[in-house]
Structure 1
Amino acid sequence: MDTGSIAWGVTATALVLFMTPGVAFFYGGLVKAKSVVSMMMMSFGALGLISVLWILYGFNMSAVGSPLEFAGNPFSDFGMTALASGETANTDLVGATYGATFAIITIALISGAIADRAKFGSWMIFAGLFATIAYFPIAAWVWGGGWIMNLGTTLFGEDAGIGVIDYAGGTAVHINAGAAALALALVLGKRIGFQKGITKPHNVPLTLLGAAILWFGWFGFNAGAEWLNELANVGLIVVNTVGATAAAIIGWIVVEKFKDGKATSVGAASGAVAGLVAITPACANLTPGWALLLGIVAGAVCAIAVELKFKLGFDDSLDVVGIHLVGGLIGTLYLGFFATETGLFVGGGIEQLAVQAIAAFAVLIYSFIVAFVIGFAIEKTIGFRVKNEDEIAGVDTSVHGEEGYALVD
């Protein structure tokens, strides 16, 4: 492979890795001032742990030799020893590291659902187990030769030209993380005094900074894989990543204006993330006009969906369900209608929608069950939630012995 393509692969890997600190800033600004260290540490903890697990065995699990396999053999090349000594080691190791960044951010996203009330050690145990049992196998299903990757051929044959479209992670990342977030929110229960307006973001600029970093890094997320494809579709991916995200900001703040009377900066940042989530699976398979429509729809629907937690009674602290699960579903299913050449409304049939729906809801159900079982087991053994008095006092000092803001006279 030429040096320019490899250089873009390294750059894209760095961009996606930078997204996890972006998540930390985005989430950190939304919580109480006494919880910001805890919130950001869950992202950095995931960055450390999942990187190690991916190198040891996660990468091995993320590819299979047959659609009938659940996951790859974790011990087939433990620690990437063979990969690092192969003739194509440069390309292979960059690709493997790029995959690690997806695993890291998927786990980090889940943490927003349990803000203000989770033990760090319990979170780390959950993160390692969920990555091993859920993310690594799902990555194999979607991108590594697994059953989702081959679903179109299985159902309709090779000549149909139908396959599940998930370019950068609508199912594997966002639906996966959103379903797990819902499960953990149910396991840990509601924060003390849970109601609409229970807490306000303690640092709006920090949240806006996080959203900006995420949008910046998302070009590596969406366009990054094109380094393996000689950048064939990179122009379309880039314009769609900008267009859908920008349109989602408009969709969110318009709904917010009608619903609450004011368009907020946090709403604009949340809308941007909703647009990024929705365009993730679709960035290479929509014309720019359909990408704009997707952004508008995702921003508006997610702005409404974040209110569901108050009506349904689950405490998803930072709206991981309303943004990532709902946004991921919108982007994944939207392809069934508007994917270039195969979408129902642009020359195709019902087949594309069918495979998109099967993949989306299979991942949703599997991830929810795995996360709920792991979270419940942790809660009933060592405990997942902090004591009530620690929650009231703030988890930063009780869990980490630190304060986000040390103010002195």
Structure 2
Amino acid sequence: CDNFTDLNLSHCFLGTSLYVRLLLYTRANPACGRELHHQRFPSEPLFNLSRPTAFVIHGYRPTGAPPVWIDHLVRLLAERRDVNVIVVDWNRGAANLNYLTAVAYTREAAHNLTGFIRSMQEEGASLDSMHLIGVSLGAHLAGFVGANLKGKIGRITLDPAGPLFTSATPDERLDPSDAMFVDVLHTDMDFGLRGAHGHIDFYANGGADQPGCPKTIFAKSYFVCDHQRSMFLYLCALNGTCSLTAYPCASYADFLDGRCLQCEAFKPASCGYDVIQWRESLLKLGQTKAFFSTTASHPYTLNYRVDMVTWNQYLRWGVVYIRLHSGRNVTEARIDSKLLRFEQFTSTRLLAQFDEDLPHVHKISLRINTGNVIGPRYKIRLLRIRLTPLERPQRPLMCRFDIFMEENTEVAFRPLS
């Protein structure tokens, strides 16, 4: 087997010069790479040019070690579809303590890969059947390849790096013209690229800080956790254990307010590998932003749309706490992105995110915290509350009608399906 180049910190301190290796994996060799010669590749019997080809392109490697996700991604791509998976190993070049050096090498590596793809095309391969999956600097590298090929590559995916690219012009970074379809997943606004740079841009938790990642620079994983989450979300969606449903929306704040959980112009899209099925609709709409929320760990999402109709005599402002009970197991959602307004005959839509999946909910607890600690507790009447599972459409809605409660006091009830 030909394995991904494994370097260490000494190589990074001394610096590495660019050397690009292309490692082929297929369903016949999902765990054993075959290095392809840049000119003599047609002689490799496992390389079938009539199949689609996915190129996996890593980013900056300040430690020199192979990416922890690469073997998993290769295996899942080969399982999902009969494709050639080519790992673009430019670790010699990406492994430099000087980030500027690695950035400069992306252009050279893109020129190298462009030449290889042109050779494939000459042998009968179709550009529109090619998918470049680029991580961090690898996404910009993919964009440069796409630009070299006049945007005729079928698809470019994932999360472009931010440092040195935030004020770059479109021809200096990934942009929608680099491929027939570009989908971007944002999980880090510090080391990832801000703004919209694809035909569709997905923003997990607003695209900034991710749940479970450290907030202080002194934590060991501070520099990688948020940025690397994009790949872990992509892997989770690819293997079918996550349902990352994203909703087109003007902003993350509007999404949290429940304003975009139903859209007539464009239905919710599954973030990840399967978004390609919405390509034609997205291309008609132009650049689209789509948002979704996740938890800190696998399976990452468990969201409910909560619709409430209140009838209270006095205007109240507050935050909502909802608990789901299943036997002795309890999971809670705190909806506190902003103070909510409750008044006479007002319909309120919320997004509730729970950390644990409880498939058989036998009781729901609800509390509206207004912060009122002086004077009498005002009563709030719920004419209706309805919880709709967003990622589990096969599950029934949970409803209840005519509930009387006091502010700052929890009320429990059995849901009706």
TM-score, normalized by the shorter chain, greater than 0.5: no
Q: Give 1 or 2: higher helix fraction.
A: 1
Largest Rg, 1 or 2: 2
Q: Give 1 or 2: higher strand fraction.
A: 2
Of structures 1 and 2, the one scoring higher in RCO (CA 8 A, sep 6+) is 1
